[in-house]
Amino acid sequence: MSTKKHIFYNCENCQYFTTNKTHWNRHIQTEKHGKVLLATDCQQKKHISHITDTERKIKCECGKIYTDRSGLWRHRKRCDTANDCTGETTVATQEHTTLAGLLQEMMKQNQELQKQLIELANEKKNVINNTINYNKFNLMVFLNEYCKEAVNFSDFVRSLELQLTDLEDTGRLGYVAGISNIFIRNLKNLDIFKRPIHCSDFKRETIYIKEQDNWQKEEGNEKIKNAIESVTNKNIKQLPEWMKQNPEFMNGESKTSDQYLVIMNRSMGVTDDEEYDKKQINKIITNIAKEVTIDKELVMQNV
């Protein structure tokens, strides 16, 4: 598979990192960044007088001193601190992502949805017969009658509680599968009739979302895209805790260090290729839509 190149912008002083150049430019112009940078400069100036010309040439930004420049050069290739001082790190990894297990699980859950809808149709046959005929499935009546207790989509997204395994799975499976898994797992935890999202036509990805206690057709998938961005940020914010629990990542030659780089590379969800990023988001939306698709023909045949 192709290798996507990510440029990481890391502000060590503010503990802020991103792969989006626009977000980086906006950050370095903030008042907070200016104050932190000024304080850091003052601290550094207090120590300048103690640094000799020789030390300046062979001392790494992380504090390690080498007797020759070749040793310093080899060290800097692996040193996170030296790379952070440049403001960006280029990390290239080989993606090898498979969705076979995920798709199988989604199909299983879809069958469960179909079964429950059939049971509901048998129990409410007289009511449903007034709203569904053989040629037409009235989704809005179904949503308003049987899914009126569903939570609002924004509340659902805010309530999501992520785990470190979600961050690790994103590194292991890739951004699309990792974020898709988070949504699908939490949707499965909800009763089908309390889910805030349903798809009436998977081929056209016709999606309905409940917001402000009303079911509405999703236009342009803006609400879902915002939700994906929110979950992505929640996932990334787990990185400091992961680093705390896995201090071996500091050893540049360890497997944990390799895992750290892969997680960093795949959890961001953005690259320097906007078209590629859009395709990634669309794949996640497709996975979510497939999970919540209603098989209308199967329901109509059993009413």
End-of-domain residue from the set 92, 114, 129: 92
124 and 73 co-located in one domain: no
Measure the CA–CA gap between 168 and 176, rounded to whole angstroms: 13
130 and 43 co-located in one domain: no
59 and 134 co-located in one domain: no
What per-residue confidence (pLDDT) applies to 135? Answer: 45
140 and 273 co-located in one domain: yes
What per-residue confidence (pLDDT) applies to 84? Answer: 55
List the domain range (segments joined by +) for residue 31.
5-92
What per-residue confidence (pLDDT) applies to 13? Answer: 76
Number of structural domains the chain divides into: 2
In b/e form, how buried is each residue of 223-248, taking b as 16+ CB within 10 angstroms?
bbbebbeebbebbbebbeebeeebee
127 and 230 co-located in one domain: yes
Query: Cβ neighbours of residue 270 under 8 Å, at least 6 residues apart?
Result: 6, 19, 20, 277
285 and 167 co-located in one domain: yes
Measure the CA–CA gap between 253 and 251, rounded to whole angstroms: 5
- Beta strand 132-133 pairing with 136-137: antiparallel
End-of-domain residue from the set 59, 74, 92: 92
DSSP 146-172: HSTTPPPHHHHHHH----HHHHHHHHH
22 and 88 co-located in one domain: yes
76 and 172 co-located in one domain: no
142 and 66 co-located in one domain: no
Q: What is the pLDDT along the chain (303 residues), one digit of tens a residue?
A: 445 556 777 787 787 778 787 877 787 778 877 777 777 766 665 555 454 444 445 677 677 776 777 776 677 667 766 555 554 444 444 444 455 677 677 778 878 888 888 888 777 665 555 444 444 567 788 888 888 999 999 999 999 989 999 999 999 999 999 999 999 999 999 988 899 999 988 889 999 999 999 999 999 999 999 999 999 999 999 999 999 999 998 998 899 999 999 998 999 888 889 999 999 999 999 999 999 988 676 545 544
80 and 175 co-located in one domain: no
Measure the CA–CA gap between 165 and 241, rounded to whole angstroms: 12
End-of-domain residue from the set 59, 92, 125: 92
69 and 187 co-located in one domain: no
128 and 260 co-located in one domain: yes
Amino acid at site 15: Q
What per-residue confidence (pLDDT) applies to 134? Answer: 40
> 294, 200 in Cβ contact below 8 A?
yes
